[in-house]
Amino acid sequence: MDTKEILKKVRKIEIKTRRLSDHIFSGEYHSSFKGRGMTFSEVRQYQFGDDIRAIDWNVTARYHEPFVKVFEEERELTMLLMVDISGSESFGTDTQFKKETITEISATLAFSAIQNNDKVGLLLFSDEIELFIPPKKGKKHVLRIIRELIEFQPKSKKTDITQALRYLSNVMKKKAIVFILSDFMDDAYENALRIVGRKHDVTGIRVYDRFEQELPSLGMLPVLDAETGKTMLVNTSSKKVRTNYAAQYLETVAYFENTFRKSGSGVIHTRIDESYVKKLLGYFKQRG
């Protein structure tokens, strides 16, 4: 893809997603994530009804009368988009690939954040850390993020969510709003997510295609594993094969949902032929 074509794609996504963030999401986003923490503001004299746990004993001792600490809500937030760019994200049977839907959702979230003067960062991962862009403010920064989402070519096609979460723990020292966008075709990330969930406000956005849910009965089919590059013949006419496939898929989805909920993190499921706008709005309103 040449530079002109990339810029054209960036502009197209900007027009679509910025309109959504300007008119729909920015207010919902802000009401959903404001008040994520409190910072010390000042001390004042104790008043009847104040919480005694807020008494500043050092100041009280100095002035021989009770003073309390006053805290205020943190206004500036930091958003980090953790995006899976492994081989399975290049799958899609309807209007577009999963990775294109993920790019649109990421852009919408990023523009919503900068509308509230928040910082946005990007972490692209496969089974290794492919790219990290530290959080910054501004439209120019968001356009760079969109450009990377469109044109970045990963070194690996495999997935390792655990490694990405561990990297996040190391680079993000302050609390952040973290959106993990993936099809979550992975397991064994429970412990890493629990550690990240203690510090950050995490939401998993599972993007999937309807044809991943069950195999159609079409006889012997060559099936390509996008992450290993291996092709195998699968007898889709076999009811047992289709049943086992569906059961394994449901097991992966259940693991994702249960793991996120147990860690206190949010969950969104969106199919590429559905409206992610409705899914995001519903989630924000539920939190707000």
Q: Give the whole-angstrom CA distance, residue 273 versus residue 79.
A: 26
pLDDT at 41: 63
Based on the domain organization, do 229 and 92 belong to the same domain?
yes
DSSP string for residues in 1-21: --HHHHHHHHHHHHHHHHHHI
Rounded to whole angstroms, how far apart are CA atoms 14 and 4? 15
Instruction: Say if residue 45 is in the same domain as residue 86.
Output: no
In this prediction, the residues of the chain whose per-residue pLDDT falls under 70 are 1-4, 6-7, 22-27, 30-31, 34-41, 71-75, 90-95, 224, 226-227, 288
Same domain, 162 and 220: yes
* 117: alpha, beta or left? (left if phi > 0; alpha if psi -120 to 50): left
The verdict on 25 and 120 lying in the same domain is yes
Q: Are residues 52 and 150 in the same domain?
A: no
Residues 152 and 140 in one domain: yes
Q: Find, among 103, 104, 112, 50, the residue nearest to 77 by Cα.
A: 112
- Regarding whether 157 and 64 lie in a shared domain, the answer is no
Same domain (yes/no): 50, 114: no
User: Which residue, of 73, 93, 125, is where some domain finishes?
Assistant: 73
Counting the structural domains of the chain, the total is 2
Helix (H) or strand (E) holding 31, with range, is helix 26-33
| Residue in 14, 153, 18, 12 with CA at minimum distance from that of residue 86 | 153
From 73, 89, 123, the end of a domain falls on 73
**Residues 127, 25 share a domain:** yes
Neighbour-count burial for 251-287, b at 16+ CB within 10 Å, e otherwise: ebbebbeebbeebebbbbebbbeeebbebbbebbeee
Regarding whether 94 and 219 lie in a shared domain, the answer is yes
pLDDT tens digit sequence for 43-85: 888 888 888 888 999 989 988 999 888 765 556 789 999 999 9
The answer to whether residues 219 and 281 belong to one domain is yes
Query: Can you give the pLDDT at residue 211?
Result: 80
What residues are paired with 235 via a beta bridge? 220
Q: Which of 131, 194, 134 has the alpha carbon at shortest distance from 162?
A: 194
The pTM of this model reads 0.80
pLDDT at 231: 81
User: Tell me, what's the pLDDT at 213?
Assistant: 81
- Rounded CA gap, 166 and 194, in Å? 11
pLDDT at 54: 85
DSSP secondary structure string, 71-138?
EEE----EEEEEEE-SGGGG--SSSS-HHHHHHHHHHHHHHHHHHTT-EEEEEEESSSEEEEEEEE-S
Identify whether residues 65 and 161 lie together within a single domain.
no
CB 256 within 8 A of CB 203: no
Q: Which of 20, 51, 73 is the last residue of a domain?
A: 73
> Residue 208 is encoded by which pair of tokens?
């999937």
Domain that includes residue 60, residue range? 38-73
Specify whether the CB–CB gap between 202 and 267 falls below 8 A: no
